[in-house]
Amino acid sequence: MNKLSAHQGRFIVFEGGEGAGKSTQVKALVAKLRAQGLEVVQTREPGGSPGAEALRDLLVRGDATRWSPMSELLMMYAARADHLEKVIRPALERGAWVVCDRFADSSRAYQGAGGGVAPAFIEQVDEAVVGHTQPDLVLVLDMPVEAGLRRAHSRGDAENRFESKGVVFHERLRAGFLKRAAQAPDRYRVIDADREIETISADIWSHVHGAFADLRGV
């Protein structure tokens, strides 16, 4: 799979709606890859570098109407540019594995499919900021919106700006993730996230193992 990527390392991204259990699964995959003796950089968006984490605070806290989808999009990509420059590209260039909790497909889903920013504009910004640094594999953790929102609300933290945007918004972005995954089945895997944690992580490991020939040799 990696023959076509523009980098030395491997770039794996987790995507999905609210409460799909991404952070638990990111941790489990990172532990398994490290157990193979690989250098793995675990990171997240929005955030992942000091500058991008500062922008994260502005983006994920406060009232749902604090920013328009267009303002969000530009701030997400400002954070992404810094994250790519400071963390992701240096790691991939030295041959490390990067496992990222959310990346550009969250902008396509939340600001595009959910928020109504024109897809053609998002692709223009993406080309300028992300360019060839595209993920090798995207794991979309999918589950029914209401169940995911219930789980996310039960966390009760202050990072709930997007959670409060309503069910219709979340249904649109779920459909956005699934459509994107269906368009590029070689790089995307849709994982049923409405199952036991262990079942999901075993499923993810088999997809990752199957996708990267170099893992089968270690």
- Name the site residues for ligand TMP (rule: CB under 6 A): 18, 44-46, 60, 76, 102, 106-107, 110-111, 159, 162
Residues paired with 12 in a beta bridge: 99, 137
| Closest separation in Å from C-beta 100 to ligand TMP | 9
| Residue number, 67 or 212, with CB nearest to ligand TMP | 67
* Residue 46 CB partners (closer than 8 Å, separation 6+): 52, 55, 56, 59, 60, 75, 76, 79, 80, 102
Q: Tell me how far apart the alpha carbons of residues 146 and 152 are, in angstroms, rounded to a whole number.
A: 10
| Closest separation in Å from C-beta 3 to ligand TMP | 27
| Closest separation in Å from C-beta 214 to ligand TMP | 28
CA 32 to chain centre: 19
Q: Which two tokens stand for residue 145?
A: 């919106």
| Residue number, 102 or 174, with CB nearest to ligand TMP | 102
| Closest separation in Å from C-beta 40 to ligand TMP | 19
| Closest separation in Å from C-beta 108 to ligand TMP | 8
| Closest separation in Å from C-beta 158 to ligand TMP | 11
Q: Considering only CA atoms, which of 160, 16, 21 is closest in space to residue 102?
A: 16
Asked whether the bond before 46 is cis by omega within 30 degrees of 0, the reply is yes
- CA distances from residue 51 to 67, 79, 115, 140 in whole angstroms, order as listed: 19, 7, 24, 26
| Residue number, 66 or 94, with CB nearest to ligand TMP | 66
| Residue number, 122 or 212, with CB nearest to ligand TMP | 122
Q: Which two tokens stand for residue 13?
A: 């991204």
Place of tokens 């991404």: 22
| Closest separation in Å from C-beta 194 to ligand TMP | 17
| Residue number, 44 or 189, with CB nearest to ligand TMP | 44
Cα-flanking dihedrals φ and ψ of residue 20, to 5°?
A: -85, -5
Residues paired with 99 in a beta bridge: 12, 42
| Residue number, 110 or 212, with CB nearest to ligand TMP | 110
| Residue number, 108 or 212, with CB nearest to ligand TMP | 108
